A and B are shown apart, each in its own frame.
Chain A
Amino acid sequence: MPTRHPTAASDVIVVGAGMIGAACAYYASRAGLSVTVLDRGPVAGGTTGAGEGNLLVSDKEPGPELDLALLSHRLWLELAPALRAEAEFEPKGGLVVASDETRLDALRRFAKAQGDAGVVTVEIPGDRLHDLEPRLAEGLAGAFHYPQDAQVQPALAASHLLRAAGARLRLGEEVTALLTGPDGAVRGVRTANGSRLHAPRVVNAAGTWGGAFARLAGTELPVLPRRGFVLVTEPLPRLVRHKVYAADYVADVASDSAALQTSAVVEGTPAGPVLIGATRERVGFDRTPSTEALRRLALGAARLFPVLAGVRVMRAYAGFRPYLPDHLPAIGPDPRVPGLLHACGHEGAGIGLAPATGLLVSRFLTGTAPGLDIRPFRPERFSPELLGETA
């Protein structure tokens, strides 16, 4: 049947103009597909615009997420020449600091396992720490240097990647329904202004709101928000060279606790301000400032870098990390709704994991072998009754 709006048809519709949506659009486009990206808000208006732009391998234990991160690391290096200047891509490396011997031992074991999985790690004894970070506090036991850790300005990365994708961009347009055919397969989406956009494939890259979009599409994905605060200081000369954080951070990232957890991640930016993350707490979508979170971040940062104590905080903002119960993202087709794919739930790692996610999604879209064990990321893994059919 001919459509009345032939221009509204594309090969794939990506819902969400954040970093993950941008990467999906980019790799789908490169695979020769025509792509439309929809977002109810602006580019990078959700979690992407509220994050620090961590591209980390250092905080990931061996397993599926680390595999994804290592693939992403390679892809980021490919993207970097195009994005470096425009998206402030910086392969600055991470420095994970242990305050005492016990923590250093734990970190050593962690780093050894990561090394076996392909991560580059270098132990830095306590008396050499100031070679890497001259302003670091005295008396720390030691650290591990992770040269593969990098940083990018996430909103710039998303918007430039979207531009490079050449996708049709429809902003301020909310999806109100998934269009399906008589066989239940995806035909496109309807939006708030009444438009019907046609495509045989729809990608859910709605981030923290990915669960709501899944429900709209008649399926289920238990994405929940985990709040984080970031402090931004006044512009400073370069005081902090790497991404520096205390070894406790790794435990926090993997934690299931709903309570507030804080481990300061401190880093400089090319523009001058120092960023201090990152609290983690499960409080729903509440953006109101938490003085307790600010206190802990400030305390943690000043412990790592005493020089920061007198520095002024210009801004504190909250963002919501989209997480799934097992702290792994959902990437791939949803067997319950043919034509629907998910790419969300990356928690605090979405910027870093975006290229690998986009590449995997494009391979699903084109029927190419994914080249990575994708079973841990299956969107239906939280519906045990379905697992038997697709395992």
Chain B
Amino acid sequence: MPLSTPNDPGAPAGRTESYDLVVVGAGPAGLAGAVAAAERGLSVALLDGDAQLGGQFYRHPAPGLGAAAPEALHHGWAAFDALRRRWEGSGGVHLPQHHVWTVAGERAATPGAGADGASWVVHAVTGPDGDDERSVAVRGRAVLLATGAAERHLPFPGWTLPGVIGAGGAQAMLKSGLVLPGGRVVVAGSGPLLLAVASSMVTAGARVPALVEASGYLGYARRPDVLATGPGKLVEAAGLVTRLLGRGARPYPRHAVVRAHGTERVEAVTVARLDGDWRPVPGTERRVPCDAVAVGHGLVPRIDLATALGCETRRTVDGAVALVVDPAQRTSVPGLWSAGETAGVGGALLAMTEGELAGTAVAARLRGVSVARPSARTRSLLRTRARLRAFADLMAAAHRPGDGWPAWLDDDTEVCRCEEVTAGRIGEAVEDLGAGDARTVKLLTRAGMGWCQGRVCGPAVACLATRGGRGAEQRPLPASPERRSPAVPVRLSTLAALDPDPGED
């Protein structure tokens, strides 16, 4: 039985519904966390911007598209399907197409205040893109942030041409709408996602004339001990490669797409060999005709909601920023848990493991159960997490962007597309004006101030910002925490219509 019941149906409209746990993000981590908590008797609300459960990883076609076998594009579909069934039987409340824009802490004096005396109000706007703009707030005694990851983009000349899209975006298009970005798709960038993307493209009927990976995979070999712990993934990868080669995909390890060509849309790319620092080696360029490019350099945690609340962060081995969590998946802010890619990118299995740990821990916390002696299940999850985290770190190290990648930029390459800020202007801000971090570059150039709020260009700008320039001898500067709030755009009228805080006048 839930510790506190959601609102009775007769409650007046506009009243904020209360739950024991509010989960933000219905991907593998959020879903596993919601299931674990709900099965332990907590009332749970599960919010996600998408219409369906599954998040980016288990994105699948809308029922209306009549896809016979969405699982063909997915690994571990059975695990997801099982979780989804458990969720449906758990009594938890799924709030689809809810785009959370902020999480606000409430006074400890609130009746029913939960874990560590805190209580949270999770604010969302509704609709496919948050455009419906019905404003919804749900209250939670605890919040689990499972907001996943976003693709890391490193710009190159021509990357703004139509037909050049994110590798993750191409995958999402295929998974949700069964649409291919083109007939001849160059897949490029770095990271384990590329193999999966190339494989999906080929499966769906496209040609992949080049699979361009900037890393040499040699990084994996430096830690054979850790490598041995992830054999399933490697066997899977080897299988993908074999299949790709059989379909005529040409692999280019230690190469990058350094330029896209075309006028109306992309017609070809220049691929060049990279040195150890990812600098293009002169004379190794070759042209590869194509009609689409799917490019991405791995994933970076999406942690806007958490950093806005001051959650502690750490720098990952591939230079991204992730949340610090403890063994129970608690963030540094009491009452806030996080699981999955937010704590460091590591894939769906790790996300599910962390989600279950978090859901279990929240339930124990809210029910006042001592966790001094973890159950056998928890101990097993902790071992799985340790093994998968180590493997994820190894992958991250292998695919860490080399310091030399900006060598493939021209001064007039747009780095921030929204505000049309070029690499040259960013270089000027760093070298002449003393900008040494992404925030200062943003203030001085407007890079990252546009519609996407730096969600696309942020990682690249951060790389460019820390490269040197005036005052560089004192680097590294402390990373100023990026606090992006609201997490999605909100209309002024929505803000104006929020409930007044009775404590302020």
Contacts and interface: CB of A to CB of B under 8 A. Distances in A.
A298 B440 contact: no
B490 interface: yes
A290 interface: yes
A94 to B, nearest CB: 22
A49 B440 contact: yes
B242 interface: no
Contacts of B489: 234, 312-314
B501 interface: yes
Most buried by B among A273, A295, A310: A295
Interface string A273-300: 1000000000000011111101101110
A179 interface: no
A309 interface: yes
Contacts of B149: none
B480 A310 contact: no
A159 B431 CA distance: 12
Interface stretch (B180-188, B365-373, B446-454): B446-454
Most buried by B among A173, A193, A291, A308: A291
Contacts, number: 154
A302 B495 CA distance: 10
19 contacts: A42-B436, A42-B437, A43-B434, A44-B444, A160-B433, A169-B434, A172-B436, A260-B504, A271-B419, A287-B308, A288-B104, A288-B310, A309-B496, A310-B491, A312-B489, A312-B491, A314-B453, A315-B449, A316-B485
A235 interface: yes
B484 interface: yes
B22 to A, nearest CB: 15
B447 to A, nearest CB: 12
B492 A309 contact: yes
A58 to B, nearest CB: 24
A91 interface: no
A297 B451 CA distance: 21
A271 B451 CA distance: 12
B440 A314 contact: no
B313 to A, nearest CB: 14
B470 interface: yes
Nearest to B305: A289
Contact of B493 (A171, A234, A292, A309): A309
B121 A291 contact: yes
Contact of B496 (A156, A162, A233, A302): A302
A171 B440 CA distance: 12
Nearest to B484: A315
Contact of B105 (A193, A232, A287, A288): A288
A257 B361 CA distance: 42
Contact of B444 (A155, A288, A292, A308): A155
A259 B439 contact: no
A295 B501 CA distance: 9
Given A172-B474, A313-B491, A287 B434 contact: no
Given A42-B439, A43-B434, A170-B474, A291 B444 contact: no
Interface string B477-501: 1101001111001111111101011
A311 interface: yes
The 3 nearest A-B residue pairs measured at CB: A298-B495, A155-B443, A172-B477
Interface residues of A, number: 52
Contacts of A308: 492
A234 B102 CA distance: 18
Interface in A144-194: 155-156, 159-160, 162-163, 169-173, 193
A259 B121 contact: no
A119 interface: no
B435 interface: yes
Given A159-B444, A290-B104, A291-B102, A311 B492 contact: yes
Contacts of A156: 443-444
A298 B492 contact: yes
B187 to A, nearest CB: 32
A171 B492 contact: no
B14 to A, nearest CB: 15
B501 A287 contact: no
Nearest to A262: B504
A260 B501 CA distance: 11
Contact of A42 (B432, B480, B494): B480
Nearest to A294: B495
A313 B492 contact: yes
Contacts of A295: 495-496, 498, 500-501
A163 B433 contact: yes
Contact of B102 (A40, A42, A289, A302): A289
Contacts of A314: 451, 453, 489
Contact of B471 (A170, A235, A260): A170
A368 B123 CA distance: 57
Interface string B454-477: 000000000000000011001111
Given A43-B434, A43-B440, A299-B495, 7 more contacts: A160-B433, A171-B434, A234-B489, A289-B486, A291-B102, A291-B495, A294-B498
A222 interface: no
A171 B471 contact: yes
A169 B123 contact: no
Contacts of B498: 291-292, 294-295
A159 B491 contact: no
A313 B486 contact: yes
Contacts of A290: 104
